Amino acid sequence: MAATAGADEKPALVRSLTTTSVPEQVSKEIRRAILSGNLEPGQTFSLREISGQLGVSFIPVREALRELEAQGLVVIRPGKSAMVAPLSHADLHGIYRLRRQIEPEIAGRASKLLTNADIARAEAYLAVFADETLDIDDIYEAHHAFHYQLLRPAATEWDLRILDGLWLAAERYVRLAFAGRDADPDEPHRRWHTHHELLTATLTRNVRTVATATRKHLDDNEQIALRALDPIAP
């Protein structure tokens, strides 16, 4: 267990790895720190700082940062430092513009291919949204899995690869938008209800109905994220 930081010590930016480090694990942990806000937008950090906290060499950290830069989460700076990519209105609009071009069409086609087992898995992920005992990271993992489940039957590997990057990029904004609501006792039910509506539309297996519901879901989330972003982004 990591020692508690003293009064004069800087708090850890990332958590210690519990298993043998590989670039994928380093990438996952830095990504978690960014998405949770532990590493803040615009914050700079050194490879030495991260590698020291994770107990790994520069090499896997450098590889992880290249992957995260490709996902738009960090900006690698000259020398041995990096910066968490700033949040911006243009970035948010771009993410959701691309999602609207891809997700509604795939969701409509996928609705006709979903099996009973697929639907049962989606319902299980949906139930997680209303579980007040779970960590927020677990909730977002279930959120990712829920949307993946509804699109997977009609999505190609390239579709999923692109969507995964867009979902991770969007998650920074979504977490910011809903951070102030997490303490609201009604939030778990609101989260469940919103996604239950999407699942209900999916179960009509009507391509147009599903696409419309998916587009509305994206539009609503973007508007919520925009309102949360206004005080801190140009």
Of 34, 62, 84, the last residue of a domain is: 84
Q: What pLDDT shows up at residue 146?
A: 95
Give the residue numbers spanning the domain of 223. Answer: 89-229
150 and 45 part of one domain: no
Q: Are 132 and 117 part of one and the same domain?
A: yes
Look at residue 5 and tell me if it is in a domain. no
* pLDDT tens track for 71-101: 888 999 887 889 999 999 999 999 999 999 9
Q: Are 50 and 62 in contact (CB under 8 A)?
A: no
Cα(36)–Cα(2) distance, integer angstroms: 20
Total domains in the chain come to: 2
Tell me the CA distances in angstroms from 129 to 47, 107, 166, 177, 216, one per residue in order: 35, 20, 21, 16, 19
Give the model's pLDDT for residue 103: 98
Cβ pair 68, 61 in contact under 8 A:
no
Confirm whether 42 is domain-assigned.
yes
CATH number of the domain encompassing residue 131: 1.20.120.530
Give the tokens for residue 145. 């899995």
**Whether residue 210 sits in one domain with residue 147:** yes
Task: Split the chain (234 residues) into runs of 10 and give each run's mean pLDDT.
Answer: 50 56 82 86 90 88 90 86 91 95 98 96 90 82 93 96 90 81 75 94 97 97 86 54
pLDDT at 133: 82
| 104 shares a domain with 73 | no
- For residue 218, being part of any structural domain is answered with yes
β-sheet bridge partners, residue 83: 44, 75
The model's pTM: 0.78
Q: Are residues 78 and 100 both part of a single domain?
A: no
pLDDT at 2: 43
CATH number, residue 35: 1.10.10.10
- Residue with structure tokens 């993992």? 141
Q: Are residues 156 and 185 in the same domain?
A: yes
